[in-house]
Amino acid sequence: MSTNPLKYTASLLYRVISAVYLLIIRLTRPIVKWGLRRTTGLCELQRICYCEPNGAIRIFSVEECLSKSKNKKIKKLSEYLERAVSEKRFNQTGSNKIISNTVETICSIKNIRPDVHQPFGKLFGDCVSVIYGYKQLLNKLEDLKSTKYDSTNLDHEQNLLELWDSLMSPKQLQSRISNLWKEIGFQGDDPSTDFRGMGVLGLANLNYLANNYKDVVLQVLSHSHHPKYGYPFAIVGINLTHLSYSLWKDGSAKSHVYNLCCQTSSSPVPSILHFHRFYCYLFVEFDKYWMAEKPSTIMEFERIRAQFEKNIRKLLSNRNCLLKLNIPVENV
Ligand SMILES: *[C@@H]1O[C@H](CO)[C@@H](O)[C@H](O)[C@H]1NC(C)=O
Ligand SMILES: *[C@@H]1O[C@H](CO)[C@@H](O)[C@H](O)[C@H]1NC(C)=O
């Protein structure tokens, strides 16, 4: 192996400079924070809540500030919140108490006088509510995803038949096991085996789409029957549950969800409805993209799906991202 000594020295120098730079940042961060606290009289969390815009930008900053904190009491507080999440206590009724405890604790740790800094409590509390509500929702999605479709479970069976009715009514299924399931894009005559890794979450997504966006879903379904560019509606739908779930799980969807929660509600907590609507957005957009690509065969699914995922990830990487369903879908 031949090494160019000049190149080697340059790269070494670069690495040394980078390390020194990082060290300086790390060492000066507490000093800068202390200085700001002295001059503005505000701690970092207050500055974030007062100065950063409402939505994902502020919430990301609070999240980062809490997770980077070396303060033992704040670490304890984070553990308390994680525990509430794992015990599913972060719900519409339960979260108020947890949030008010959290705000009180932060005010006491940071010597913030709640009477003087009244807006802080609400602004900070909302951020915590969104951050931890998202975590708890992820656990719920995980539960649904790992609940296998079970033909002996009446709820599951009812939901499946409901899907048929929403999509195909007045056409009737003659029997539960039927070749007709292929018309809505299942693989064989019994859909129960098609949900695979997505469990009942896949079915819940499809049902939400079919029940809440009737006109749109019928157009999408008709595209899936296109003589040239048709695709298996339900199988692709289940695959898009996978995509939605992955984007939430790895945190990519946070920008959209955080912005959405702050925009819509006075006490923002992410809910499964947000997930379903996100899914509907993906399905409708995927259908548009697929039809525009004019694939010559279903074998192009992997390529088109990968490109679609890339496009969505690009949108989500913008902290101001807020995905909105564009209805109606154009007729083809
Ligand atoms: C919400 O959490 C509280 C505990 O904080 C619990 O008592 C209550 O049953 C929960 N409600 C729901 C709907 O899960
Ligand atoms: C969805 O499709 C992609 C690409 O073909 C594949 O890697 C993935 O496993 C599929 N997921 C499901 C749940 O079918």
CA distance 319 to 331: 32
In a domain, residue 126? The reply is yes
Closest CA to 262 of 315, 319, 209, 317: 319
| Interatomic CA distance for residues 298 and 230, integer angstroms | 8
Instruction: Map tokens 């602004």 to a residue.
Output: 123
- How far, in Å, CA of 170 to CA of 168, rounded? 6
- Is 304 near ligand 2, meaning CB less than 6 Å away? no
Residue 133, domain member (yes or no): yes
Q: Domain for residue 305, yes or no? A: yes
The band of 265, judged by pLDDT with boundaries at 50, 70 and 90, is: low
Domain containing 237 equals 147-316
Indicate the residue among 83, 108, 137 that finishes a domain.
137
pLDDT of residue 29: 76
- Does residue 254 have its Cβ closer than 6 Å to ligand 2? no
Q: How confident is the model at residue 331 (pLDDT cuts 50, 70, 90)?
A: very low
Q: Within a domain: residue 278?
A: yes
Q: Residue 328 has what pLDDT?
A: 57
Q: Is there a domain that residue 87 lies in?
A: yes
pLDDT of 267 strictly over 90: no
User: Closest residue (by CA) to atom 1 of ligand 1?
Assistant: 94
pLDDT of residue 332: 43
Q: Are residues 161 and 90 in the same domain?
A: no
In this structure, the answer to whether residues 215 and 241 fall within a common structural domain is yes
Give the model confidence (pLDDT) of 149-162 as tens digits. 999 999 999 999 99
pLDDT, residue 190, reads 96
The DSSP symbol for 329 reads: P
pLDDT band at 2 (very low <50, low <70, confident <90, very high): low
User: Does residue 328 belong to any structural domain of this protein?
Assistant: no
pLDDT digits (tens, 9 = 90+) for 81-131: 999 999 998 877 788 899 999 999 999 998 888 777 778 999 999 999 999
User: What is the b/e burial string over 83-97, where b = at least 16 CB atoms within 10 angstroms of the residue's CB?
Assistant: ebbeeebbeeeebee
SS3 20: helix
DSSP string for 106-138: HHHHTT--TTTSHHHHHHHHHHHHHHHHHHHHH
**121 versus 310: which is more confidently predicted?**
310
Question: Using 50, 70 and 90 to split pLDDT, how confident is the model at 238?
Answer: very high
In this structure, the residues whose C-beta lies within 6 A of any atom of ligand 1 are: 89, 91, 93-94
> For the chain, how many structural domains are there in total?
2
Work out which ligand 2 atom sits closest to the CA atom of 196. 13
> Which of 137, 167, 182 is the C-terminal boundary of a domain?
137
- CA 244 – CA 256 distance, rounded (Å): 12
Residues 294 and 164 in one domain: yes
Spatial separation of the C-alpha atoms in residues 76 and 88, rounded to whole Å: 19
pLDDT at position 283: 97
Residues 51, 162 within the same domain: no
Mean pLDDT of the chain: 91
The closest residue, in CA terms, to atom 5 on ligand 1 is 94
**Domain match, 262 and 307 both:** yes
| Proximal ligand: closest to the CA of 94 | 1
Q: Do 195 and 218 have their domain in common?
A: yes
Out of 110, 137, 164, a domain closes at 137
Residue nearest (by alpha carbon) to ligand 2 atom 1: 239
Question: Looking at the domain assignment, is residue 196 inside a domain?
Answer: yes
81 and 168 fall within a common domain? no
Is the predicted pLDDT of residue 286 greater than 90, yes or no?
Answer: yes
Residue from 93, 102, 129, 137 whose mutation best tests the ligand 1 pocket (most atoms within 8 A of CB): 93
Which ligand has the nearest atom to the CA of 243? 2
pLDDT above 90: percentage of residues in the chain: 73
Same domain as 287, residue 194? yes
Residues 116 and 159 both lie in one domain: no
Q: What percent of the chain has pLDDT over 70?
A: 95
> Which residue from 90, 91, 272 has its CB within 8 A of the most atoms of ligand 1, so it is best to mutate?
91
Query: Is any ligand 2 atom within 6 A of the Cβ of residue 243?
Result: no
Task: Write down the pLDDT at residue 32.
Answer: 76
pLDDT tens profile 158-213 = 999 999 999 999 999 989 999 999 999 999 999 999 998 999 999 999 999 999 99
Residues 161 and 125 in one domain: no
**Are 46 and 110 within one domain?**
yes
What tens digit of pLDDT does each residue of 26-64 get?
Answer: 788 777 777 777 666 678 899 899 889 999 999 999 999
Same domain, 123 and 165: no
d(CA 323, CA 257): 9
Ligand 2 atom nearest to CA at 235: 14
In a domain, 293, yes or no: yes
